[in-house]
Amino acid sequence: AQTVTQSQPEMSVQEAETVTLSCTYDTSENNYYLFWYKQPPSRQMILVIRQEAYKQQNATENRFSVNFQKAAKSFSLKISDSQLGDTAMYFCAFTDGSSNTGKLIFGQGTTLQVKP
């Protein structure tokens, strides 16, 4: 069974600084997708970034980038130039590309506080 682990329940960062959120996962599949979702206080789930396992290049979306280490099964999220609006709970998620169920498996979440 696939699992996703986020070992940092809470983190904080000063505005404009950089922070990295950790995520590890376990799977025997070779074809899969990884995601980072943001859940602000409104509780609306927002996709931050996605990574296809077959791509070696790390995904980037403006201030957000990932460090995807396939052999180590690690998928960390780096937020650069942190903004107050980045305050939210962040979830790492996995989906199996082979079975095509689209089922997302979430990590426990990391609450990020950006301080002014």
Partner 1 sequence: GAVVSQHPSRVICKSGTSVKIECRSLDFQATTMFWYRQFPKQSLMLMATSNEGSKATYEQGVEKDKFLINHASLTLSTLTVTSAHPEDSSFYICSARKAWGEAFFGQGTRLTVV
Residue nearer to partner 1 on the CB measure, 66 or 89: 89
**Residue 105, both tokens:** 């498996």
Q: State the Cα–Cα distance between residues 77 and 59, nearest whole angstrom.
A: 10
For the CB of residue 114, give the shortest distance to partner 1 in the complex, in Å.
Answer: 17
| Phi, psi (rounded to 5 degrees) for 94 | -130, 140
- Residues lying near partner 1 in the complex (CB under 8 A): 35, 42-47, 50, 89, 91, 100-109, 111
Residue of 22, 19, 36 whose CA lies nearest to 78: 19
Residue nearer to partner 1 on the CB measure, 62 or 71: 62
For the CB of residue 30, give the shortest distance to partner 1 in the complex, in Å.
Answer: 17
